[in-house]
């Protein structure tokens, strides 16, 4: 029997930490290969420093710190420039790695067919990358601070899309402007015809959002002139999809999966480049 001193210590497989920084929430996920092991959703908190983020992420990722630091990686998509550098600093200090920060210039496996590719948010590129290997065309509905619609055509071509006010953003503006309307929880109401002010607001917000989303998806499908796969992601995706007639799939981690694919693509490209030298 081998002594503890002579036993081989098995290192934990390397992990990838994917971070999607949004205006309202930041979503973090740890991948082992293509499998998502853990997911967290936190407030974005624009005033947070790299040190504060390091302390928070250290608590969340404690079981994964060594697997990320010991041969793992970090990939980031951000629509909040003030936080991008802070998360980069956090990755260096906590894990000792240089993160891959995704932009329109980052190889993603998707061809961005826009006049100004730099205007496309990294999160939308990640969403396109996540669905590009599946049946196309596809429409991705991302329900965040804004509700975005992205169209990916056959040939892994990102064709563009739409940006509309988010469900919570619209509701918060209603509550702000109408002094006598109390803020209510956004959820599926028991009935369409509200019998109280609260029920009326909930029905209006919920079915108003679904009506707008279904209407836009139908118009997009008509413009594409062929059936499209429709996926929803974001914090409200499952709630909205429950009442939608057009959303076919829900994946709350879709953006993170896209970031993981982009990271793998760039890692493989880097290895091939080194091997050819």
Please state the residue numbers annotated as binding site for K(+).
Answer: 142
Q: Is 214 a catalytic residue?
A: no
What is the enclosing helix (H) or strand (E) of 19? strand 16-21
Tokens in use for 274?
A: 């080194």
| Residue numbering of the annotated binding site | 20-27, 121-124, 142, 145, 197
Is the separation of the CB atoms in 127 and 254 below 8 Å? yes
Rounded Cα distance between 103 and 155, Å, is: 20
Radius of gyration of the chain from Cα atoms?
21
Rounded Cα distance between 217 and 219, Å, is: 5
- Contacts made by residues 244-248, CB under 8 angstroms, sequence distance 24+: 244/210, 244/213, 244/214, 245/214, 246/213, 246/214, 246/217, 246/218, 246/221, 247/141, 247/213, 247/217
Point out the catalytic residue in the list 123, 150, 172, 251: 123
Rounded Cα distance between 60 and 204, Å, is: 37
Is the separation of the CB atoms in 141 and 247 below 8 Å? yes
Tokens in use for 247?
A: 């959303």
| Residue numbering of the annotated binding site for substrate | 121-124, 197
Tokens in use for 84?
A: 């991008």
Q: Which phi and psi (to 5°) does residue 70 adopt? A: -90, 65
Query: Would you please indicate which residues are annotated as catalytic (active-site) residues?
Result: 123
């Amino acid at each position: 029997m081998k002594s503890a001193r002579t036993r081989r210590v098995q290192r934990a497989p390397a992990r990838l930490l994917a971070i999607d920084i949004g205006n309202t929430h930041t979503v973090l996920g740890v991948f082992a290969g293509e499998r998502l092991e853990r997911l967290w959703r936190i407030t974005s908190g624009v005033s947070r420093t790299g040190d504060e983020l390091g302390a928070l992420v250290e608590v969340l990722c404690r079981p994964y710190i060594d697997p990320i630091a010991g041969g793992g990686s970090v990939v980031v998509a951000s629509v909040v420039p003030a936080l991008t550098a802070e998360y980069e600093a956090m990755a260096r200090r906590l894990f000792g790695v240089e993160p891959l920060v995704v932009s329109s210039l980052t190889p993603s496996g998707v061809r961005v067919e826009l006049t100004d590719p730099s205007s496309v948010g990294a999160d939308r590129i990640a969403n396109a990358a996540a669905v590009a290997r599946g049946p196309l065309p596809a429409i991705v509905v991302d329900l965040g601070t804004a509700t975005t619609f992205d169209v990916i055509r056959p040939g892994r071509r990102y064709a563009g899309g739409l940006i509309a006010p988010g469900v919570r953003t619209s509701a918060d503006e209603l509550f702000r402007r109408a002094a006598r309307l109390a803020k209510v929880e956004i959820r599926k109401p028991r009935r369409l015809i509200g019998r109280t002010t609260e029920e009326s607001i909930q029905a209006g917000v919920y079915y108003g959002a679904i009506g707008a989303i279904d209407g836009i998806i139908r118009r997009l499908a008509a413009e594409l002139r062929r059936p499209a796969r429709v996926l929803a992601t974001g914090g409200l995706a499952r709630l909205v999809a429950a009442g939608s007639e057009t959303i076919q799939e829900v994946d709350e981690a879709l953006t993170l999966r896209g970031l993981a694919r982009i990271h793998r693509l760039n890692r493989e490209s880097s290895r091939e480049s080194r091997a050819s030298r």
